[in-house]
Structure formats: structure tokens, C-alpha cells
Amino acid sequence: MSTKKTAKAKNIESVLKEDRKFAPDPAFSKQAHIKSLAQYRKLYNASIKDPKKFWAEQAEKELLWFKPWKKVLEWKAPDAKWFVGGQTNVSANCLDIHLDGDRANKAAIIWEGEPAAPGLPGEERTLTFRQLHREVCRFANVLKKHGIKRGDRVMIYLPMVPEAAISMLACTRIGAVHSVVFGGFSAQSVADRIQDCGAKMVITSDGGFRRGSVVPLKQNVDDALKIKVKGKSITKTIDKVIVLQRTKNDVKMKRGRDLWWHHEIDQVSDQCPPAKLDSEHPLFILYTSGSTGKPKGILHSTAGYLLGSKLTSKYVFDLKESDVYWCTADVGWITGHSYVVYGPLANGATTLMYEGAPNWPGPDRFWNIVDKYNVTIMYTAPTAIRAFMKWGDEWPKKYRLDSLRLLGTVGEPINPEAWMWYHKVIGKGRCPIVDTWWQTETGGMMITPIPGATPTKPGTATLPFFGITPEVVDDKGKAVPKNTGGKLVIRKPWPSMLRGIWGDKKRFIETYWSEVKGSYFTGDGCRQDSDGYFWIVGRIDDVLNVSGHRIGTAEVESALVSHKDVAEAAVVGRPDEIKGQGLVAFVTLKGSSKASKELQQTLRNHVGKEIGAVAKPDLVRFTEALPKTRSGKIMRRLLKQIAEGKEVKGDTTTLEDVSVLTKLSKESAA
């Protein structure tokens, strides 16, 4: 790793340079869908030169249509309509299309439950495509029986169990709009989302297992439905609550409103023809955090989203009939939507779902699952990878891991040190790594390696996927030179793009389309290197002005984690009278390393050596753990308040472990 000096400018300074490069393995390329960089470039250039022709060909080849479209694209920024006039159905594309051949009896979902206690095995279930189709049809009929119609919103608040996917697919089958709420969210979060989208039904369970404890999901729903503002219920639209029996803890069932899942499906037919839905029919609303504190309901529609998730799954994961594919995300997030459920199933792939935590009942849980099911493709988050590094190499080294043929990362930029660990320890130096950049709003991967074609560099998502036109621009929206930091925008529409923020067109325009006119603003800082590879340097919100230099915190974190003693780091800013902003680094150490004043200074100097003196943290704070959501996102907003010596405010209900925050706050006050 070396340092590159940049000219002083208003643009974001991207100063971390990675020199290592890994060519695709010729044996992997030989059997891949896309076998060379030249083949990728030919397809990419065709998709950019004539995007309507390219996407029309892909939609015709990849999707089942009840009625052909009349027009490929209607576009007047920020509003896009794809495959105008066409009719299709997501459920039919994920299930029915596979029932006439050998795939009918192939495993669609393999599910591994979390052990109720250490020493106990987790539950196991396998659903073939035929069995999954039957369960989806039955539950679709339950929805219809209780008055759910085309366009109605249905809230799904379940643990990571097959019924979560069944619920989603049942909604798509009849044209209901689902909104999945992550099982770690609070009653207030559930209530806010019900109110915003006007849901008519909630699908939940008695509880979910998490590290040996029961998460009281049904109780949370009951509490949500009691919340009032100015004496009026904010969840008055809810008619029915369907309750799955999972943990068998005692729950209260309200007569006339609450119904048991297992009772309801026994009373309906297992035949339910898929609704013929317009290509732009709303598919789902997924809430993502916003800077104002009010979550944004990101709206995706049917055909374009499905095509994006299917095509990216096929080519980025190089999916084959024999693959056992495991995306470790929860279905409560967009990754779970696109790459646990819709993308893999549309391709007829076997998708593995795991209910629990990566370190319960022990730090080897993931590697045990990989060997148990002969997982061939694993897609996980850099946060998880850094946690595995911290726990020690001895855990994965207990297992063969020889079934793995491809690894992927998602959720945030991966620092080069974690990339190399993943490559060496998990992939044994033989598995390509696809480091993917995309967002809830984009629906599917936007910048990503193609494993048989793209030479990779640790820390970069490399090149754009077909039809995607990213550009790094300055504050005026003008493209900046190579190796210069700037704002990442997407210049042209793509099929899986968001169609809006539910009920808030003004916010949709202000958030995504006002920064650079006519272009989608991603909110991320980025640079493009001499090879055309894109390096995400963090959210624009995480870019700090230090002595006139605009520095992305992600690069400082990468420099810290490149030190042999550091497992994970989060960097935030605090006001500084002289520099404008100073840097505070919260650092967790690897198991054998000890915190000391000498190590603090060593780490400051290490950052100075890797990046430059301007990026040296003013303060390095050691902590046993960082405050994270259950999806693994570090809550930098809370760390910023701690760094500034303020009282921690705002919603903390999504925290995986509140005690981490409590301990950090006490240490700051001491």
C-alpha cells in the first residue's frame, strides 16, 4: 500500500492507493458465463451504445411475460417507466417457470435455524421449488381470504425463516405491495412504517431466536398497534395480524384481529394463479434511514427490479445449477430482497437462509454451515469479515471450506486488509472476490467485478455492470480527472432504479435529483483510477474538512485496519478551532493485542505514513466493540456524539448490543 499526493482542491481527496492486482483464474474463466475482460467490454459497450435494445433483449430472454411491452423506456428525469404496457409476475418468474423441468424437485430454499441453546442442533428445512410454489399459493389464498387486494400494503415482520420469503412471494403473486421490517426494529419503528405506508395487514411470529434469547415480535406488534398520537392510533389501517408459531412463547391473541398462520393455511387451496401485473406495478416499499430521522420508504416496481436482480445474480455470482448459494443478509434489508429471495430464485438457484448470529453458539458458526451444506458461493458484509478476523484464524481453519468457489462482499467499502484476509483464509487464495457497490435505491448491483473477466484490486468495486453509467463529478456536476475524488452520480436510468419515496415526491427529488441536474446522486464520495476502477471513499456525510482538506473517513479507517494489531475501526469528526474538524478513531484490537498509549501513538503515525499527516487522528480510543445494528452497520452517528462529548440522542432501538454504547458513554464522562 502506498501514498499518492493529490492537488489541493475543493474535491474530496482520495489518498489511499492500492497496488495489488489479481487476475481471474483461467480455470474459473473457462467455465464462467462471461469468460474475459474483452467479452465484458463488448457487452458493456453494447449496453451503453443502445441501452433500449440491450435491455429489451435481456427482458425478452430472461423473464416470463403474459403480455409483451409496447415501449422499452419512458424517461423524463426523475421518472422512469420500463417495459411500458408489458405484464408479468415476480412469483411466476421465481417459481412457476421452474416447475416443468428438472428444477421442480431441486432445493429452492435450504434453511438452517439458530440453536435454542449451546450444544443443541439448529432446525433444518429444505423446500423444493414445487414445495415452495405450493406454500406460496396457499399463503396467497390466505391473504385474499382476508381482504388483501391488488395494491394493498402488507407489513412483514418475521425472523429469518422460510415463511419470510413465502410471505414476500405470496404478496407478489396477487399484486399486494409488501414492506418488510427488519426483526431487530422496535415497536415504534413498526408503527411508524405502518402509518407511513397505510398497511392493512401485519405478518409476524410469536418470536424469533437470537443468541439463545427470544425476540418478542408479536409483543412488539401489539405495542405498535397501541401507539397513539394526540389520542388517535397511528396504525388504525391494520385489519388483521397473521402470527407464525416459531418460538412457542406465550402471546396474546386479539379475537377478530389476530390469526395463527398454521390454522389459516389449512383452510385454503394450494392453487392460486399469478396475477397479470403491469410492468410498473408497485412491488415493495423498503424503508431506509434518512438524514432527517424520518425513514424513507423506497418504492420499487415489478419488471425492471426483477430483471436487475436476476441478471446481476446470474453474472456477478456466475450462478450454476449445482451451486449452493448463501447470502448472509436478513430479508429485512435490500440485500435480502434482491440476493436472498428474488435474484437467486428467478435464476432457479438454491438459496440458503440462516436465522441466527455469526457467533452463536460459537465464532465458527458460519464455517460450520459452509461445510455442512457444501456452500459454493458466499456473499457477506465487510463488517462480518472484520469480526471474523478479530475472533482469530483458528475458527475457519477448523473447517475444509473446499466447496467454496466464489466470495462476495456487500454493504460498505471493504478495506484492503479485510479483502486480503477473506481471500487467503476463507478463499484459500483460489476464490475470486466480487466486491459489489449498490444501494437500497438502486435495487441491484451497479459497480462490481465479473468474476471470470475482471482483474480485481483489494478495496475497489472495479467496473460498472451492464447499462450502468457512473461518473465522478465536482460540486458543479462536472466530471473530474482520473484519480481525483468527487461525488458519485449515475448519468442514465436503469431498470431496477427506485421509482420514488412512498408518498413524498418532493423529498425524492430533493434527495436524489437536485444535487446534479438530470443525474441520480448516490450520496457517496468516489474516485476513478487510471484503469477506470471506482473506489468508494465513503458517504459524503462522512467526508470531513480537516485543515482545508476534504477527507473520506473510510480511507482513514482502511489505513488503521491495515495495521497488524487492529481488527476494526470507525472514524468520526469533532469540531476543532484550528483545523475546522479533527478526527477521532474508535479502534477494536485483535485478540492478542493490548491497548496502550504507545499503541495509540503508533496507530496515529501509521495513518500518517499510509495517508499523510493531515489524516492523523487527533485521538485514538480503544473499545472492545463498536456500536452496530444487527445488520452489522456501525452507527457512526452515535460515535460522533460521543466524540463531541454530547449526550447520546436519537433512536438506539436497532443496536445489536446497547451495553457497548453505555460503556463508551461512561468512559467519555469519566
Pairing assessment for the beta strands 208-210 and 177-180 based on DSSP bridges:
unpaired
Mean pLDDT for the stretch of residues 334-363: 96
Over residues 440-457, mean pLDDT: 98
User: What's the domain range around 647?
Assistant: 563-669
Between 638 and 63, the higher pLDDT residue? 63
At 531 the pLDDT is 95
Q: Answer yes or no: is 607 within a domain.
A: yes
Residue 241 to residue 259: CA distance in whole angstroms: 6
Taking only the tens place, the pLDDT of each residue in 262-309 is 999 999 999 999 999 999 999 999 998 654 457 799 999 999 999 999
CB atoms within 10 A of CB 266: 10
Residue 539 banded pLDDT, cuts 50, 70, 90: confident
The reply to whether 494 falls in a domain is no
Q: Could you give the number of structural domains in the chain?
A: 1
What pLDDT score was predicted for residue 7?
Answer: 34
**pLDDT of 513 over the 80 cut:** yes
Asked if residue 501 belongs to a domain, the reply is no
The answer to whether residue 213 sits within a structural domain is: no
* Residue 591 counted as domain residue: yes
pLDDT above 70 coverage of the chain, percent:
94
Q: Sorting pLDDT into bands at 50, 70 and 90, what band is 2?
A: very low
Is 646 a member of any domain?
Answer: yes
H-helix or E-strand containing 570?
strand 566-576
The tens digit of pLDDT for each residue in 184-200 reads 888 888 998 999 999 99
The answer, yes or no, to whether residue 634 has pLDDT greater than 50, is: yes
pLDDT band for position 610 (cuts 50, 70, 90):
confident
Supply the CATH number for residue 634's domain.
Answer: 3.30.300.30
Tell me, rounded to whole angstroms, the distance of Cα 667 from its chain centroid.
32
- Mean pLDDT taken over the chain: 92
* 663: in domain: yes
Q: Within a domain: residue 573? A: yes
Cβ contact 176:154 at 8 Å: yes
| Global pTM value | 0.87
Extract the C-alpha cell encoding 32: 464462467
For 394, other C-beta atoms within 10 Å of its C-beta total: 10
DSSP label of 591: T
Q: Which of 305-314, 456-465, 564-573 has the lowest mean pLDDT?
A: 564-573
Give the number of other CB atoms < 10 A from CB of residue 307.
27
230-239 pLDDT, tens digit per residue, is 788 888 899 9
* Residue 339 main-chain phi, psi, to 5 deg: -125, 10
Q: How many CB atoms lie within 10 A of CB 590?
A: 15
Stronger pLDDT, 573 or 426, i.e. the higher one? 426
